[in-house]
Structure 1
Amino acid sequence: MKAFGKILGLVVLALLLLAVAAGFILTHFFNPNDYKDEIRQLARDKANLELNLRGDIGWSLFPWLGLELHDASVASLRTPDKPFADLQLLGLSVRVLPLLRRELQMSDIRVQGLTLTLNRDKTGKGSWEDIGKPVQPAAGATTAPTPTEQPSAPAKPMAHDIASPMKLDIDSLNITDARVDFSDEQNGRQYTVEGLNLNTGAIREGSAIPFKLTAYLGTNQPVTRAKTELTGNLRFDRALKRYQLEDAKLAGELSGDQLQGKTATFSAQGQLLLDQAAQVAEWNGLKLSINQLRALGELKARNLDKDPQFSGGISIAQFNLREFLDGLGQKLPAMADGNTLTRLELAARVDGSSNSVTLSDIHFKLDDSSFTGNLGLADIAKQAVRAQLSGDRLDLDRYLPAKAAKAAEATSSARKSEVEATAASASKGNSPLPNAPTQQAWSDTPALPLVRLRALDLDVGLNLGQLTLDKLPIDNAVLKLHGQNGQLSLDDLRGELYDGRFNAKASLDVRQDVPLLAVQKHIAGVPVEKLLEAQGQKPPVTGLLDLDADLTTQGNSQKAWVDNLNGSAHFALNKGVLLNANLEDQLCRGIATLNRKDLSGDHSGKDTPFNDLRGSLTFRNGVANNPDLKASVPGLTVKGDGDIDLRVLGMDYRVGVIIEGDKSDMPDPACEVNKRYAGIEWPLRCRGPLELGARACRLDQEGVGKIAGQLAGQRLNEKLEEKFGDKVSPDLKDALKNLLKKK
């Protein structure tokens, strides 16, 4: 038995020596470079490739099965003169004996100077699609018949076929100075990866594999360049189809046309997991930075093989959005307040799919405002915005374009001068009637971005504790906005304003070149002077306004909207006061004239209170006709009819003032009210800029003359009655009255 073992050992030694000798003989006396032509032909026949081996082929057989290629290129047989792969050096070697145990033990794999040039032609076919396909016989060519073979029973799998996949054991992988160029003739785009270097540690399944990957990325539409570096530890289990990237860190710099000469520095870190068996992926410990933006979070995806769904959370630390966008070469539109967008932070849950994303449980801060709620894109391709937000306050005026405000100021400068000149001449009640204004009061600068509005898909709800809009402080504001296919509707806008309340609805149709706008508005108990002051106008009147309006217009500027304004409105002003005007003073002057007395003092500069002011308006192309103005002043009733020209903010009214039950003496004896004046409608004419209010009103001298005739007729009738009684015929009395009226 002992001798048998000795003999067996000698046999094994002899076989080993024989194998070593055979390997030595093969590697030293067999030169693969002598068979380059055969290798090329084999590549053509079996893989449809044109293989050009310009350099030497080195190889080894035992104990390492090694291969080393120098200066080689590969092309498709369709384009043999256009290689899609060039290689300066490829070196690899495998231990022979572990292969018998289904173990792949390799030394360093070296790839140097690899260049891949890939192309997709105008038909959409890629230059790589024929790789590995045998050459098809030419049309009409015949192939030798193959002998008919009897079907045989399927071979039983070997034991090692059922076992786990081949184990990998590679000392390292080193790819140096590789390059990939891809061009797509269908859209003219080009993508480049250059300076690609990959270095890894030992590659063993189940063990952490440290690696470092660096590359320069580029594209031409738009022109963009990126420098990237990715490091981490890779761990994989092929049997479980589980892959992990631990302590991953991606860092780099981005530049290009879209950044307008600026450079963005970015980095991303975390722990990544891909489980193909469960079709899930995770990114835990996410850390993201782009210039000064810093974000933390996590992200999980599922159903990767079907309709991918993802969820997670994100938190963005406070940063200056204005500086951030400037660092990316993005210019913000001019805003009324240049200090906006300087503080932004966000925390939210993230959910979505391949074509949607939603932020829920939002805690969002923008400058001095805080918001909670949900925000998302229901359809990323269509930019379908969905939002339900609640906030404490928002001064929207700060974010409005400053250019429009400047244009409005420039447009109104000439009109402002005209109003000031008119106001100066109308400072005294006995001055001539002011002229009607002529200067346009509105800007013709385009106000709406029509192209953007046509693309909007909106469903937005917003609740705010306080909203400042057009300088109006709105409390408990509610806004519901919907828009799709160029049609936008403000379904609800309501809130509390200066202890009053309002609500409004509106629609905007931008499908055509000339937008169409419709508005329905209701206001209750809002101080009218506050509304006017918010618009930068000096209020001529105070009081609580009730208003119902239904208006339509068209155009894309303030001027166009006013010029094309049509519709109707009903209004009432309660507990009002006419400022800097005293109707009693105007009446006193008229009564003094009739009494043939002079006023003892100047009664100007006083206000006129009234209990009620109401009427209706009919708008036609920017001019509002008011046929039924009524006002109730203690002891007086005021009626009027006229027009308000919104185009120039002017008015032209005829007003009648009726003295009713107040029989007390006036402050000035010259205008003592006599019972003969009760019930008479005293005429006023109001014309001029709307800002003047009652200061634009003057006593209608022609109307006063008629009243004087009426009063004289009444006095004559009283004298006749007193002296002659019924002896004077009624016909004579009427003739005398008519005669006095004509004077």
Structure 2
Amino acid sequence: MNKILKYGAIALAGLIVLVLVVVGIVAATFNPNDYKPMVVKMVQEKKQRTLNIEGDIKLSFWPKIGANLGRISISEHKSDKEFAAVESLKVSLALLPLLKKELIVDTIYVDGARANIVRYEDGTTNYDDLLSEDESESEQIKFDVDGVIVTNSAITYTDLQAGNEIKLSKFNLETGHVALASPFDVATDFELSAKQPELNIAAKIKGNFMADPEQKHFVAKGLDANVQGDFAGGKEVVVKLTGDVDARPENMEFLVDGLKLAMTGNFDGAKVAVDLVAPKLVVQEDEVSGKEASLSLTREKGSDSVKANLVLADIKGSPKAVQSSGISGDIAAKQGARTVQGKFSSPFSGNLEQLIFDLPKLAGNLDVKDPALPGGAMKGDFALKLHADVKQEQVKSDFNLAIDTTKLNGDVAVAGFKKPNIKFNLNADTLDLNKLLGQPSAKAEKAADSGPAKPTDLSALKDLLLEGKVSIGSILYDKYRLTGLNMGIKADGERLNVSPFAVKLDESQIKGSFGISRFAKPIYHFDVDIDKLDADRYIAKSDDKPAAADNKPATDTPIDLSALKAINADGELRIGWLNLANVKSTNVRIKLKADDGVAQLAPFSANLYEGAMNGSLQVDARAIPQIAFKQNMTGIAIGPLLVDAINNDMLSGKGNLNLDVKTSGATVNTLKKSLNGTAGLNLADGAVKGIDIAGTIRGYKDKLSSLKGQASVEGDKTQKTDFSEMSATFNIKNGVAHNDDLNMKAPLFRITGSGDIDIGNETIDYLAKPTVVKTLAGQGGAGLDELSGVTIPVKLTGTFAKPKYALDFAGVATAMAKKKVIDKVGGEKGEAVQKLLDGDAAGGLEGLLKKKAEPAPTEKTADPATTPPAEEQPASKEDKVKQKLDKLLGF
């Protein structure tokens, strides 16, 4: 406000000076308008600004010199853009008093004055050229103005360096007689707006004022000010100030009479009202006296409210030693079902000359009522002493607070008011938050949806200098107990550090350090060690019950990773023993780096279930969520892991697992159906549970001849198929994992297979091909000799929740028949028949038609009695093959 008035005065003074120059130049002529072109040219040549004088200039010379101008304007330096203008200006002054260096002016009339003041980024202004470079301090001239009337005027101040703009508009001013060191009446109204801080007000001020800059003496009597608008962080704020003030600040002399301040407004959705009453205060060289002063505050938001009153009793003494019988106050607050009432009081003393004040014993009590508290109520007492040295900008305080079993004590010291440097110590044996705050409700624990998360702006911390220690023996909250809390806190304007930090949460000992930097868009730093942590103990169980089974598809669940956009973090967490989602692990190490919506855990390693894991996880939440996960597990006992993780023992064994997948999507189903990558496993000495292939085949062996299709049954978890080795790799594309290299060795079988596992739709379509080994010692091998070497197709189908398997017994019967044929033929011909049955017709026929080498025939004498009959026609090749097959197959 002072700057606006200052620069506005400069602009106005410049116009007046220009007017007086114009008057001086044309004073010797009878028609000053003939000289307007010359004046315009002079301004252009001297200041490189364009002066525009519209209308006629009317002058008077005796006994007063004066001018009455119409619209006049002047441009920016070397520009046509308007710098300042006035619609009309009328001024006249007595001529003879000028000879005595006295300026006696009649009423000044100004209408429609405008000025555009600019400070550029380099600190220069748009009026620098109007100031004389060799200004010397001139002898002060006494001035006397009969009055000033300004109507409908405005000033705009643009600060490009600070990124601010201040506008004074609709400015009206009317004064009485104005002279140095003499009181004068003022009535003004105006509108004022600014960007930093945000401001938009309308003001009306009137009163009788006196200002004597030489003596530093300022007086306001009959002050009546009314300001309305949006300012001080509030909306629809109304401030009214009345009273009389007579001040000589350098001499520490003040007279206050009937001062009243009333403010109402809306701050953060709450209605706030403040009232200050100071009936009488006298501060003179050797006397200080005052009547009782009071301050009241009311804040209401919905059904919640706070009301506080502060009273300063009569004061007396001298500026060096002022005393009061005391300060007292009371407070009444209501928040939800909780009510708080309290009272406090303290003696007061001070030194006004040195601005030192003391509250040696501020003591009070609190009475809290809340159904959530144990017993529905609690009482407390507090005491503190306060010492303030305003000149040195220092405040010190010791305090004690006792509420039920909670007892706090400590001290705080503040140095500097503009940028406080705070040092403190806080100690407590027990801090029972359940008794102080009440038991947390389930509703309170659920965070409200407040829309997309944004990084918290902690810019206020850049002005905070803080250093202190906190030591609390025990903290109780809900069902949790923290013990041995010790931490150091330090803030230097660039970073806030909590180090060292140590606390025991239930059975978990936590040590480490935390930090925050880049406050406008915070980065959170941490380095934490936890000896053991049962995380499941602190993860709230869902109250949602599963929907009844029906034929309707399950509702897709959206994935909201927007919280990552609000987190910028860099740190490492180490846990000796961890239980999370019922999965136990040791030597856990997680390194997190999150920035602008991308979070990466690398490494993400641990020892678990007789083995180890090492991998990484990256989540990109900037647009459509994208997830990349890599993990290598070695020497893992898969059975106990599956039991703990998903309560399913479908597979057992020990070995290696690896996973390298990526996916993207905004819902759970989309993520599953967009899964791409690879996976693999290699297990030893385990079992597939839910199916006993040997037992199943043995149960159906005697019925093979009557089976003509497939027998499909649901898995039985009491059954299992043992294996000594199992390996498989999966190529995952669009949520479907394809495998074609299953290799499993069981005591009774050698199993291969291929098929798909549809992760997105949670279905299975897989064909396993167990082949009965020739050596039948092992699981269920007795009685299966006839199936030795036979491949038995097993079709796995169904869903993850209800898998099914089907053995193709008709195919088994066919395989057994083939086996009997091959065994009966035996030798090379058996192999040939095998080829023929497997579809290799050429190789099979070639083997069957192959003749063995015969010995040379022995000559014999013909026996007439055995003369052969007439020669028969030779058989064709096809007939020969048919005859051989008939003989071989027993047809």
TM-score interval for Structure 1 and Structure 2 normalised by the shorter chain:
0.5 to 0.7
For each residue in 1:124-151, what CA deviation from the matched residue of structure 2 results, as whole angstroms up to 9, or x when unmatched?
xxxxxxxxxxxxxxxxxxxxxxxxxxxx
Offset of residue 657 of structure 1: 1.6
- For residues 358-397 of structure 1, the aligned pairs below 5 Å read 358-397=497-536
Offset of residue 175 of structure 1: 3.5
Give the aligned partner of residue 718 of structure 1. 826
Offset of residue 196 of structure 1: 4.4
For each residue in 1:405-444, what CA deviation from the matched residue of structure 2 results, as whole angstroms up to 9, or x when unmatched?
455x525x538xxxxxxxxxxxxxxxxxxxxxx986x763
Contact 1:389 1:461 in 2 (8 A): yes
Give the aligned partner of residue 588 of structure 2. 477
Give the aligned partner of residue 75 of structure 1. 224
CA distance in 1, matches of 2:886, 2:798: 35
- For residues 329-728 of structure 1, the aligned pairs below 5 Å read 331-333=444-446, 342-344=480-482, 346-353=485-492, 357-402=496-541, 405-407=542-544, 410=546, 414=549, 444-448=556-560, 450=562, 452-512=563-623, 514-588=624-698, 606-660=719-773, 662-664=775-777, 670-672=783-785, 677-678=788-789, 680-690=790-800, 696-701=804-809, 703-718=811-826
CA distance in 2, matches of 1:275, 1:481: 47
* Aligned amino acid, residue 560 of structure 2: L
Offset of residue 508 of structure 1: 1.8
Offset of residue 654 of structure 1: 0.8
Contact 1:508 1:516 in 2 (8 A): yes
Query: CA 1:720–1:480 in 2, change beyond 3 Å: closer, same or farther?
Result: closer
Secondary structure in structure 2 of the residue aligned to 1:710: helix
Contact 2:222 2:242 in 1 (8 A): yes
Give the aligned partner of residue 293 of structure 2. 176
Q: What RMSD over aligned residues (CA atoms) do the two structures have, in Å?
A: 5.6
Query: CA 1:232–1:330 in 2, change beyond 3 Å: closer, same or farther?
Result: farther
Give the aligned partner of residue 114 of structure 1. 260
Give the aligned partner of residue 122 of structure 2. none
Offset of residue 714 of structure 1: 1.2
CA distance in 1, matches of 2:567, 2:291: 50
For each residue in 1:462-489, what CA deviation from the matched residue of structure 2 results, as whole angstroms up to 9, or x when unmatched?
2223322222123332233232222222
For each residue in 1:565-584, what CA deviation from the matched residue of structure 2 results, as whole angstroms up to 9, or x when unmatched?
22221122232122353222
- For residues 19-58 of structure 1, the aligned pairs below 5 Å read 42-44=182-184, 50-51=206-207
Query: CA 1:473–1:166 in 2, change beyond 3 Å: closer, same or farther?
Result: farther
Q: Percent identity?
A: 17
Aligned residues, how many?
563
Contact 1:279 1:302 in 2 (8 A): yes
Q: Which of the pair has the greater relative contact order for Cα pairs under 8 Å at 6+ separation?
A: 1
CA distance in 1, matches of 2:518, 2:332: 29
Which structure features the higher share of strand residues?
2
* Aligned amino acid, residue 199 of structure 1: A
- For residues 180-219 of structure 1, the aligned pairs below 5 Å read 195-199=309-313, 202=316, 205=320, 211-214=326-329
Superposition TM-score, scaled by structure 1 size: 0.60
* Aligned amino acid, residue 314 of structure 1: L
Contact 1:74 1:83 in 2 (8 A): no
Contact 2:747 2:778 in 1 (8 A): no
Secondary structure in structure 2 of the residue aligned to 1:511: coil
Contact 2:322 2:352 in 1 (8 A): no
Give the aligned partner of residue 23 of structure 1. none
Offset of residue 665 of structure 1: 8.9
Superposition TM-score, scaled by structure 2 size: 0.52
* Aligned amino acid, residue 620 of structure 1: K
CA distance in 2, matches of 1:265, 1:518: 55
Give the aligned partner of residue 314 of structure 1. 426
Contact 2:522 2:568 in 1 (8 A): yes
Contact 2:752 2:770 in 1 (8 A): yes
Contact 2:722 2:779 in 1 (8 A): no
CA distance in 1, matches of 2:886, 2:753: 26
Contact 1:244 1:273 in 2 (8 A): yes
For each residue in 1:474-514, what CA deviation from the matched residue of structure 2 results, as whole angstroms up to 9, or x when unmatched?
333223323222222223332232333223421222222x3
For each residue in 1:527-574, what CA deviation from the matched residue of structure 2 results, as whole angstroms up to 9, or x when unmatched?
333333334443222222522112222335433432332222112223
Secondary structure in structure 2 of the residue aligned to 1:682: coil
Secondary structure in structure 1 of the residue aligned to 2:641: helix
* Aligned amino acid, residue 654 of structure 2: L
Give the aligned partner of residue 108 of structure 2. none
* Aligned amino acid, residue 699 of structure 1: L
CA distance in 2, matches of 1:397, 1:654: 39
Query: CA 1:51–1:447 in 2, change beyond 3 Å: closer, same or farther?
Result: same
* Aligned amino acid, residue 617 of structure 1: F
Give the aligned partner of residue 12 of structure 2. none
Offset of residue 384 of structure 1: 3.9
CA distance in 1, matches of 2:358, 2:888: 110
Which structure features the higher share of helix residues?
1
Query: CA 1:167–1:42 in 2, change beyond 3 Å: closer, same or farther?
Result: closer
Offset of residue 587 of structure 1: 4.3
Moved more, 617-626 or 41-50: 41-50
Secondary structure in structure 2 of the residue aligned to 1:410: coil
Give the aligned partner of residue 99 of structure 1. none
Give the aligned partner of residue 111 of structure 2. none
Give the aligned partner of residue 43 of structure 2. none
For each residue in 1:623-642, what CA deviation from the matched residue of structure 2 results, as whole angstroms up to 9, or x when unmatched?
22222222121253211112
CA distance in 2, matches of 1:718, 1:332: 78
Query: CA 1:217–1:458 in 2, change beyond 3 Å: closer, same or farther?
Result: farther
Contact 2:638 2:652 in 1 (8 A): yes
Contact 1:212 1:229 in 2 (8 A): no
Secondary structure in structure 1 of the residue aligned to 2:793: strand
Query: CA 1:334–1:279 in 2, change beyond 3 Å: closer, same or farther?
Result: closer
Query: CA 1:580–1:568 in 2, change beyond 3 Å: closer, same or farther?
Result: closer
- In structure 1, runs of 5+ residues without a counterpart are 1-36, 54-68, 93-101, 121-164, 183-190, 219-224, 256-261, 416-437, 598-603
CA distance in 1, matches of 2:888, 2:621: 63
Contact 1:685 1:698 in 2 (8 A): yes
Offset of residue 516 of structure 1: 1.8
CA distance in 1, matches of 2:522, 2:377: 27
Query: CA 1:273–1:578 in 2, change beyond 3 Å: closer, same or farther?
Result: same
Query: CA 1:340–1:721 in 2, change beyond 3 Å: closer, same or farther?
Result: same
Offset of residue 655 of structure 1: 0.9
